[in-house]
Amino acid sequence: MMAVERTPRESETREDEARPSDSWVPASILPNPTPRDGWVHRWIRTSIVGQSDNTNVSRMFREGWEPCKAEDYPELKLRSDIGSKFDGNIEVGGLLLCKAPKEKMEARNRHYLQVAANQMQSVDNGFLRENDPRMPLLRPERSTRTTFGKK
């Protein structure tokens, strides 16, 4: 029998099966704005099921959030909702893009972390109040984390 000459496997390529490098990805419904130094961004609910949520909007504005102007974020390439109350700003599906100073939001996060810690301390105190030296209760182990937004 004669040996059949074969090409080495290393020389074979799968160029025909390779995916194109510029594959298409669907657009995000809520795009992330380009980060700005000293600012935190968040989408704030302005309406739900077609009904205005003025209470939520005013509470968020009092917390320090302010609407982002569309002209300041041309990379988002968005149009505001039809009939939006926030003309000139970025509103998509009842959500308004807002920004707040980073320091203020870090202080807010520290506040809510302290509130959560106080609540856990209260639960532990109530639980351990029932402690009897003849049959001691074990302090529950906790591995809880509270975070707000993306970092």
pLDDT at res. 120: 87
pLDDT score at 135:
67
At residue 117 the predicted structure's pLDDT band, cuts being 50, 70 and 90, is very high
Whether residue 22 has pLDDT greater than 70: yes
Residues 6+ apart with CB under 8 A from 5: none
If DSSP codes are grouped into helix, strand and coil, which group holds residue 47? strand
Please answer whether residues 89 and 80 qualify as being in contact, where contact means their C-beta atoms are separated by less than 8 angstroms: yes
* 3-class state of residue 90 by DSSP: coil
The Cα-based distances of 136 to 123, 129, 130, 132 in angstroms read 17, 11, 9, 5
Q: Strand ranges (DSSP E) for the chain?
A: 39-45, 47-48, 51-52, 66-67, 91-92, 95-101
Q: Is the pTM of this model over 0.75?
A: no
Cα separation values, 105 from 49, 129, 130, 149, Å: 28, 36, 39, 10
For 127-139, what is the mean pLDDT?
Answer: 69
pLDDT band at 98 (very low <50, low <70, confident <90, very high): very high
In this prediction, residue 31 carries a pLDDT of: 83
Q: How confident is the model at residue 100 (pLDDT cuts 50, 70, 90)?
A: very high
Predicted local confidence at residue 9, as pLDDT: 67
Distances in Å between the Cα of 22 and the Cα atoms of 12, 14, 18, 19, 25 are 24, 17, 12, 9, 9
Nearest to 137 by CA among 146, 148, 145, 125: 125
CB atoms within 10 A of CB 69: 13
| Domain segments of the chain as ranges | 40-101
